[in-house]
Amino acid sequence: MEETGPAEPTKRTLRGEFLAVRSRLTRDDAQKAAAVLADRASELPELAGARTVAAYVSVGSEPGTRALLDVLHARGTRVLLPVLLADNDLDWAAYEGEGSLARVQHPGKMALLEPSGARLGPDAVVAADAVLLPGLAVDERGMRLGRGGGSYDRVLARLGRAGADPALVVLLYDTEVVAHVPQEAHDKPVHAVVTPSGVRRFR
């Protein structure tokens, strides 16, 4: 489900700008940021106290999640990771450590690392106490700018229909917390953003 509406051209422009900045990050800078993010995020009460966390495996120059996934898994937290479906919706499977990930090439998209275990169904996410959302930016209201594929719009809608209210958390670089991002009717604010310099809560 692609995002649509009058704000879409502005969102598309912003996505290009944030992705361009990320593309200039050195591998070393990205790895250092990932280590700091893992430390900060793992101490976040919303994640530290969660029995089940729905997360994702970072790719390319995204703020790194791999170290955080391992911290949560080692702690005994049940970690669910997404499996991209043909219609851009997400199925889920449990993370069982680094060896449980497989590289999957989806037609027309970048290769993703996905869990190789048993599929739990799209509704498995409603059991999560916290959901780690990918994003390109978040503003002072907690509104998130996603990549535009609509996968996480479906996740958030599914949570809403189920009456689930997990903590919604985004990992970003410091420059990606901005004054304003365009908002559409289906957009929902996150509860917290974690950057290398600290944590900011919105509710």
| Mean pLDDT of the residues in the chain | 91
pLDDT at 5: 44
- Side-chain half-sphere CA neighbours of 31 within 13 A: 3
Question: Of 90, 87, 145, nearest to 114 (Cα)?
Answer: 90
Asked if 92 contacts 55 with a C-beta cutoff of 8 angstroms, the reply is no
The tokens describing 104, both together, are 């999957």
The pair of three-digit structure tokens given for residue 23, joined into one six-digit string: 């593309």
Matching residue, tokens 């703020």: 63
Can you list the residues of the chain whose pLDDT is less than 50?
A: 1-9
- The rounded percent of the chain whose pLDDT value lies above 70 is 96
The domain ranges of the chain are 8-201
pLDDT tens digits along 157-175:
999 999 999 999 999 999 9
pLDDT at 183: 87
In this prediction, residue 98 carries a pLDDT of 82
Q: What CATH number matches the domain at 8-201, 3.40.50.10420, 3.90.226.10, 2.40.50.100, 3.90.1150.10? A: 3.40.50.10420
CA–CA distance, 169 with 192 (Å, rounded to integer): 5
Percent of the chain with pLDDT over 90: 80
pLDDT value at residue 111: 87
